[in-house]
Amino acid sequence: MTTTVQAVGLRVRTGRHVAVDGVDLSLGAGVHGLLGPNGAGKTTLIRALATVLRPHDGRLRLLGQPMDGRPDLRKVRRALGYLPQEFGYYPRFTVAEFVEYMAWLKEVPGTGRRRAVRRALERVGLADRAGSRMKSLSGGMLRRAGIAQAIVNEPELLLLDEPTVGLDPRQRLDFRALLRELGERSCVIVSTHLVEDVAAACTSVVLADAGRIVFHGTPDEIAAAGGAGDAGDSPIERGYSALIERHRAAPAVTL
């Protein structure tokens, strides 16, 4: 399996705070859930992988490119899809115009750009709203438009920060199917609070707490870590609670 993301001792600061503190991580194709409580450093890690934040220390390779020194960011970004936690958009643009604009910025060739836009909108179920202004969309539709712009360039590395916020149950089911499809060829990293999304769609789970990775394994392995006495309504929730509690009680593990 080709390694898309490789981090060794990665430290990332947000202001004076070290939000990601010595992360070791190696991810290839597949859907990887990034789980953790608030303040765990999930968004900061995603932002560093999206090349928006520069690492403060450690080594990071994205798509085979080292990110230290003077990296060829343009090459990496061309193969990157990113949905930030706070998704900004131009409210006067139509959905199709916005996705086309983002495709142009991602240097999708002009000849196939319109086709790529159409396909991205179909994949997120927004083809019928292609002509609607962005400002007229509901919260769930906006999130789907955000996913459409993230996948319009068929990225090798797709970073989705809280992508299911605002989606109704049916849309979440469709989204999980889309994730599984995308994960067949790309490295998809999904940061979320929703443990059941991870259980349903992810091939691996990265559990973060206080800027560190405390667990990296399959959803079944997380579920197996929990017991009847741990907090949660499902095996994976109980496993999640157990792993966080164990980490807080003992030094972090490096995986």
Partner 1 sequence: MSGIVGIELRRSSALLAGAGTAVLGAAGLYVLAFTGQTGLWDQQWNLLAAFQRIMLVVLWPLALAAGAWQAGRDRRSRIEELLGSTPAPGWRRLRPSALAAALGLTVGYLLVLAAGAPRVATAAGYPGSGWWAVTAVGVLALVAAGFLGLGVGRLLPYAYTPAVLGAGSLASLLAAIEATKIGDATKPGPALLLPFFTSTLSEFQTVGGSVSAGQAWWLAGLVAGGLVLYLATNRLVRVLAVVPPLLGLALATPLLTITAEKAFPIDPAAVTEVCTTDGGPRVCVTAAHSRTLPTVVAPSREALRLLAKLPNAPASVHEAVPGLGRPQPASEAWVDAGNLSQTDDPAELTARILAGAGTPLCTDDDESAYLDVLRARAVTAAWLYGRHPAPGPAFSAAEQNLRDKMWATLVAWPAAEQERRVAAVRTAGLTCGDQAAALGAGAGR
Binding site for partner 1 (CB under 8 A): 47, 50-52, 73-78, 80, 82, 84, 86-93, 97, 100-102, 104-107, 110, 113, 149
Burial class (CB in 10 A: 0-12, 13-18, 19+), 50: buried
For partner 1, the closer CB: 117 or 236: 117
- E strand residue ranges, 29-110: 30-35, 57-62, 65-66, 80-83
For partner 1, the closer CB: 5 or 76: 76
For partner 1, the closer CB: 76 or 179: 76
For partner 1, the closer CB: 145 or 244: 145
How far apart are CB 62 and partner 1 at their closest, in Å?
A: 11
DSSP secondary structure of 162-215: STTTT--HHHHHHHHHHHHHHHTTSEEEEE-S-HHHHHHH-SEEEEEETTEEEE
Q: Phi/psi at 210 (nearest 5 deg)?
A: 50, 40
Structure tokens at 19: 């939000």
Q: Which residues pair with 187 in a beta bridge?
A: 30, 157
How far apart are CB 98 and partner 1 at their closest, in Å?
A: 9
For partner 1, the closer CB: 132 or 203: 132
How far apart are CB 246 and partner 1 at their closest, in Å?
A: 34
CA dist 151 and 121 (Å) reads 9
